[in-house]
Structure 1
Amino acid sequence: MLWAAVAFSALNLDRYNLTQAITDNFLSDLGLTTDDYNNGNSLLRIAFLIAELPSQLISKRLGPDRWIPIQMCLWSIVTCAQFSLSGKTPFLACRFLLGLIQGGFIPDLILYLSCEDESSFYPGSLDLTLIISSFLAYGILHMRGVAGKAGWRWLFLIEGLLTLTLGVATFFMMPASPTQTKTWFRPKGWFTEREEVIMVNRVLRDDPTKSDMHNREGLSFKRIFSVALDYNMYPMYIIGFMFGIPSGPPSNYLSLSLRKFGFSTFESNLLNIPKTVGAIITLICITLLSEVVDNRALVSIAEDLWCLPCLVALYCLPANPNPWVYFAISTVLLAYPYTHAIQVAWCSRNAGSVANPTVNAAIYNMFAQAGLVASSYIYQADDAPRYLRGNRNLIIIACICVCFMYPGTYAYYKWRNSQRDKIWSAMTDEEKTHYLSTTKDVGNGRLGFRFAY
């Protein structure tokens, strides 16, 4: 649904506006250091990680159509509260609260879309949001001095009120399912009965396992535990932890670095736009490639493969580089093809039934957030301003991803499929029929299930 993309945009608007706030002397106004900035990012990610699974449990019980707008309204209130930040402790507390409330939003949205036609979700809304937010920041940060307040304070307040409005609207814009669009404020609904039948058949034809649970059926702890112990999903969790680390620190520090190189607050925000435009182009290209190439590992490796030569170029910059050269290299690096959405779909595909992706998506995102926490500490104050040690570590991690992690995952799933093929082909027709009628295996544990790679 289009509104799912709007809701995702609201998440990103409030999650990433700190990168614009720091261009307006945010750190110096609050007496913070870059290490405090790292700690704030880490606390948000840690809270994000902690909230993933509990949020999924709440979402499965209440229904994502109810829980998602509640999350949006709560984090918008915290965003607005940052208008009154007064020092290190309130800053860290707000970052933690934001992460705690936003933590399960992405898997909750995946759960909601699993009961719909998932092609209606647009991952590109992240990049479009970053472009729009850069222009918003350019205008709002000019309000520095209004009522004697800093521009970054108005940025948090105005964007928080904007996403709060979207959160309230989401209560009315996200029906429980394609067959439940009729309600007191929408008496005619969105679809005819025939259209509803067509949509349901289309979703079930695409993935028959979506018929085994509904979106208000809670998960038992036994089922959660069994899913968490599914070792066949561990390669995906390792990917979730590792793949985003090489691009994390350069992204977090781009605005700060541009300010240090002499660019103004407003120039620094506008100079974030080219890399976002580039990211949209590469996202479209990698998405089209994923439709043509039936090889998830080959497509997903593109992000770290793209980052590797750019990280080498950053490492080789002289002690006092030309600001525009640094900007050019960083822009190319951060225009990488974003493969996270492809990997989440890959993870869901290999999980099996609807219940499994619900938990697996949460676990995958927990590992992804853990990776971002680790990446927050790669650039340290004692390594500034060139961050030679940090960039060297990023190069090593990118090489591990490209040379070992993705090829290893490809080889593992191919081997698992060949194992099952041998067992299945060795069975007689009677044995196959007996297995299909009596097996208690579910999801990717069934002999007939084949992993995507």
Structure 2
Amino acid sequence: MIEGGFIPDNILYLSYWYTSAELPIRLSFFWVAYQATSIVSAFLAFGILHMRGFNGLAGWRWLFALEGTLTGLIGIISWWYLPPSPTQTASKFRGKNGWFNEFEEKVMVNRVLRDDPSKGDMHNRQGLSLKAFWDCLCDYHMWPVYLIGLTWLIPAVPMNAYLTLVLRDAGYGTFTTNMLTIPAYVIFILNLLFWCFLSEKINERFLLCTISQFWVLPLLIALETLPTTRSPWTTWILSVLIYAMPYVHPLIVAITSRNAGTVRTRTVASALYNMMVQTSNIIGTNIYRTPDAPWYFTGNKVLIGIVCYNICLFVGAKIFYVKVNSKREKIWGGMSKEQKQTYLATTTDKGNKRLDFRFAH
């Protein structure tokens, strides 16, 4: 519960350091680190669980104690080590001269502000009023992103939650199961980096995100239609590939940040999108039910339906933002130079409501 604001705050924090084009790949490294810990944990868990009985403690207690202590220490170090902003790096923990000289700080700040001037509207210690918060909630231009966050990940959630259980049901032992999950993590990481890089390379986002759904669709159909007498290795391959579904989460997070248009909207929108994703995890973990075990045919049918819905949702979001941009471009292009200057000087429109703002899609 306390961890709830961790990801939204990190997104906002990184947005002060990187431009819109740089953010997706940086966010992908964030989730690569998360998956890398899963690989390491598979080995650590095997060793630590064998400490059962040491000092009279069960193996799972040692697992919680040692891994929890390591996580806590990293958190404490990060609290003192990470600077509030690019211009506030000097401290006794980071060196009295900081990480950058004055010229480098100006370059860093100016490049970020030129990419998105709205990042200079609020400082990183400024709170939101209730009215500003309500205005962010009512920004319907961000609603398609929230809808996507609610369902796009669901097709992979059951396998993410029950991968080890599925492999155990297929007849593999504990150690073998832990080792067999590693390829899933590796493919996941490779997919994550590749699609984030390709997205910025070809300047396409929502349509590229449909790759995640087209990836998992034939795999779910295979789980649904293959006979129950299939080889355990077939189950393993399908399970690993479903787990390794292209993780386009950094792309959608970056779209949320870019399309927000203001710092206050970016703050609230990142939190709302993350809430939708967490809700999707709750929904996803309840699709595979005990009466449906061990083949989960009913659950797989539900997942196939959600995949088809997600494809339509991604395409619909693309069309929505293209139409909004086209409408604004028509109005903006029909204005004279003087009218544009007057609009920019007198408008009360802010952020993504401005006629000169274009949504990423």
State the match for 1:243 in structure 2. Answer: 152
Work out whether residues 380 and 390 of structure 1, in 8 Å CA contact, stay in contact via their aligned partners in 2: yes
Q: Percent identity at matched positions?
A: 47
Alignment of 1:119-134 (within 5 A): 119=22, 120-121=26-27, 122-123=29-30, 124-134=32-42
Work out whether residues 250 and 330 of structure 1, in 8 Å CA contact, stay in contact via their aligned partners in 2: yes
State the match for 1:166 in structure 2. Answer: 74
> Is 2:311 the partner of 1:410?
no
- Counterparts of 1:390 and 1:149, CA distance in 2: 38
Work out whether residues 170 and 235 of structure 2, in 8 Å CA contact, stay in contact via their aligned partners in 1: no
Work out whether residues 209 and 248 of structure 2, in 8 Å CA contact, stay in contact via their aligned partners in 1: yes
The C-alpha deviation readout for 1:375-414, integer Å capped at 9, x for no partner, is 1110111111111000110011001112x11111111111
Work out whether residues 206 and 314 of structure 2, in 8 Å CA contact, stay in contact via their aligned partners in 1: yes
- Counterparts of 1:180 and 1:217, CA distance in 2: 16
- Tell me the secondary structure at the aligned position of residue 135 of structure 2: helix
State the match for 2:347 in structure 1. Answer: 439
> Is 2:283 the partner of 1:382?
no
- Counterparts of 2:334 and 2:205, CA distance in 1: 29
Query: In 2 relative to 1, CA 337–113 (structure 1 residues): closer, same or farther, beyond 3 Å?
Result: same
Distance apart, 1:234 and its partner CA: 0.8
State the match for 1:266 in structure 2. Answer: 175
The C-alpha deviation readout for 1:186-211, integer Å capped at 9, x for no partner, is 32322222222222122222322211
- Counterparts of 1:238 and 1:261, CA distance in 2: 35
Which ranges in structure 1 are unaligned for 5 or more consecutive residues? 1-99
Q: State the one-letter code of the partner of 1:104.
A: G
- Tell me the secondary structure at the aligned position of residue 112 of structure 2: helix
State the match for 2:190 in structure 1. Answer: 281
- Counterparts of 2:191 and 2:118, CA distance in 1: 32
Q: Which fold has the larger relative contact order, with Cα–Cα distance below 8 Å and residues 6 or more apart in sequence?
A: 2
Work out whether residues 107 and 358 of structure 1, in 8 Å CA contact, stay in contact via their aligned partners in 2: yes
Alignment of 1:291-310 (within 5 A): 291-310=200-219
Work out whether residues 138 and 270 of structure 1, in 8 Å CA contact, stay in contact via their aligned partners in 2: no
State the match for 2:358 in structure 1. Answer: 450
State the match for 2:327 in structure 1. Answer: 419
- Counterparts of 1:199 and 1:432, CA distance in 2: 29
Q: Kindly tell me the number of residue pairs found equivalent between the two proteins.
A: 353
Which ranges in structure 2 are unaligned for 5 or more consecutive residues? none
State the match for 1:370 in structure 2. Answer: 279
Moved more, 155-164 or 427-436: 427-436
Displaced runs of 4+ in structure 1, greater than 4 A? Answer: 118-121
Work out whether residues 143 and 151 of structure 1, in 8 Å CA contact, stay in contact via their aligned partners in 2: yes
Work out whether residues 164 and 177 of structure 2, in 8 Å CA contact, stay in contact via their aligned partners in 1: yes
> Is 2:83 the partner of 1:175?
yes
Distance apart, 1:147 and its partner CA: 3.5
Q: State the one-letter code of the partner of 1:107.
A: P
- Tell me the secondary structure at the aligned position of residue 106 of structure 1: helix
- Tell me the secondary structure at the aligned position of residue 155 of structure 2: coil
TM-score w.r.t. structure 1 length? 0.75
> Is 2:298 the partner of 1:397?
no
- Counterparts of 2:314 and 2:18, CA distance in 1: 29
> Is 2:253 the partner of 1:352?
no
- Counterparts of 1:204 and 1:243, CA distance in 2: 32
TM-score w.r.t. structure 2 length? 0.93
> Is 2:16 the partner of 1:115?
yes
- Tell me the secondary structure at the aligned position of residue 219 of structure 1: coil
- Counterparts of 1:159 and 1:409, CA distance in 2: 41
- Tell me the secondary structure at the aligned position of residue 276 of structure 2: helix
Alignment of 1:144-163 (within 5 A): 144-163=52-71
- Tell me the secondary structure at the aligned position of residue 143 of structure 1: coil
- Tell me the secondary structure at the aligned position of residue 287 of structure 2: coil
Distance apart, 1:320 and its partner CA: 4.0
Work out whether residues 293 and 299 of structure 1, in 8 Å CA contact, stay in contact via their aligned partners in 2: no
- Tell me the secondary structure at the aligned position of residue 103 of structure 1: helix
Work out whether residues 185 and 244 of structure 2, in 8 Å CA contact, stay in contact via their aligned partners in 1: yes
- Counterparts of 2:143 and 2:5, CA distance in 1: 20
Distance apart, 1:300 and its partner CA: 1.3
Work out whether residues 143 and 154 of structure 1, in 8 Å CA contact, stay in contact via their aligned partners in 2: yes
Query: Superposition RMSD on alpha carbons, in Å?
Result: 1.6
Work out whether residues 196 and 250 of structure 2, in 8 Å CA contact, stay in contact via their aligned partners in 1: no
Query: In 2 relative to 1, CA 345–187 (structure 1 residues): closer, same or farther, beyond 3 Å?
Result: same
The C-alpha deviation readout for 1:141-181, integer Å capped at 9, x for no partner, is 22233344432222111100000110111122111111111
Distance apart, 1:429 and its partner CA: 3.3
- Counterparts of 1:384 and 1:429, CA distance in 2: 66
Alignment of 1:133-148 (within 5 A): 133-148=41-56
- Tell me the secondary structure at the aligned position of residue 378 of structure 1: coil
Distance apart, 1:356 and its partner CA: 1.3
Q: State the one-letter code of the partner of 1:387.
A: Y
